Amino acid sequence: MEQPRFFIPALEGVRALAALGVLTAHVAFQTGAGWQWLWGRLDLWVAVFFALSGFLLWRRQALAARQDVGGVRPSVGRYYRARFVRIMPAYWLVVVTVLLLFPGGQRLSWEGVLSNLTLTQVYVPLSLTDGLTQMWSLSVEGAFYLLVPLAAWVLWGLRGKRARWRIPTIGVVCALFLGWAWVPLGQVWEPLGDLNGQMQFPAFIPWFGVGMLLAEVWADCFLGLREHRGVKALVQVGWLNPVVVAVLFLVAAQPFMGPAAFVEPSPRAFALRMVMGVEIAFFCVAPLVVGPVGARHPILCSGVLQALGRWSYGIFLWHLVALWAAFQILGVPLFSGHTLGVWVVTVVVTVPLSAASYALVEEPLRRRLRAWEARRVVAASGGEAAAAPEAIVAAPSVTVEAALESAPGATVAAPAEA
């Protein structure tokens, strides 16, 4: 039986669609577009980005737990270095640009400036500013990046034959955090009362968790340990999955899901959004990672969507700057309509900026880090060449990380775009 691959090109296409979806949500909000009840719910593409991060960053842990030989874990230092280089340099470039050019950035307090530079803005009141408001989701994702090694350590006892308990354990934790919106943060600790608990990392654990669960399922399938026929049955009919996603978005746009604008919903409405986000993320990601082997995805794997997927982090970083520029170029005020024109100009400005970010900042720095890591491996092995990637699946868990790093784009998880 053919095994799933490390690199899944269709995920790049999903990332591109999600990036454009969130960009559209922000354009619709700032232009006061009609059908706001529908366009506003495109913010649920954030769930897909969080799930992608959960899948791509957790699967090395899932594989290591099933291939444990001698109890060696994937390198924490290497993981943090890769995350830092992937995220922070391009992010800092945008933050400095906005802080210098946007009036709101120039009025920020030093606490606000520091929080934006350190990705802690969701933990500092009144630190979100024009051109950087979308970074709340990157702040949430940054917390996930930091905590992945801790979660791996907590679950390290569930390895080998006990790995079958990892899926129910992660599932239970995700289910518990669906109730986060009801936690009275201000009563737990008074300073927390000034923060929006619905923008904190714990609130989004279910969205990251669905990706982690899919990583566990994928690892079983990759190693031929379990079939997971129930999960596969849900996504077996390829053409049906986009229909299911569209229906879920329509349901999410209904009044009982709370306001579509950027308004804090009730705890019940927020919990419903979390559930809907889990379902949308599942039907966007699961068909591509555990669906029928050999299934073709011509649209997702097209050249345009593959390119936009590679540039999706830049789209996330720059699209509000481009949206501001679109209003200036067209000479129209906020909330005055002209949605289509503003959308077109925003995309036209965003895409080149994103491509430049990828070509001039993101990819060169990642190449340099990979070269540096390779030199460290050679030095540590006394100058001997690293093992061939083909031998990695059968090797100890320490080599699982090398396998994932060797696959182009395998561990590139673009942050959530919101």
Contact 182, 267 (CB under 8 A): yes
Residue 205 pLDDT > 70, yes or no? yes
Residue 128 pLDDT > 60, yes or no? yes
Cα first-last separation, the chain: 39
Backbone Cα Rg of the chain: 21
Q: How far is CA 295 from CA 158, 214, 219, 271, 280, in A?
A: 32, 18, 19, 34, 20
Question: For residue 73, which amino acid is it?
Answer: R
Q: What global pTM score does this model have?
A: 0.89
The three-point CA angle 34-35-36 to 5° equals 85
Q: What is the DSSP letter of 33?
A: -
What would the DSSP string read from start to end of 140-198? HHHHHHHHHHHHHHHTTTS-GGGGGGHHHHHHHHHHHGGGGGG--HHHH-GGGGGS-GG
Specify the pLDDT at position 402. Answer: 37
Give per-residue pLDDT as tens, 225-276.
998 999 999 998 888 999 999 999 999 998 888 877 667 889 999 999 999 9
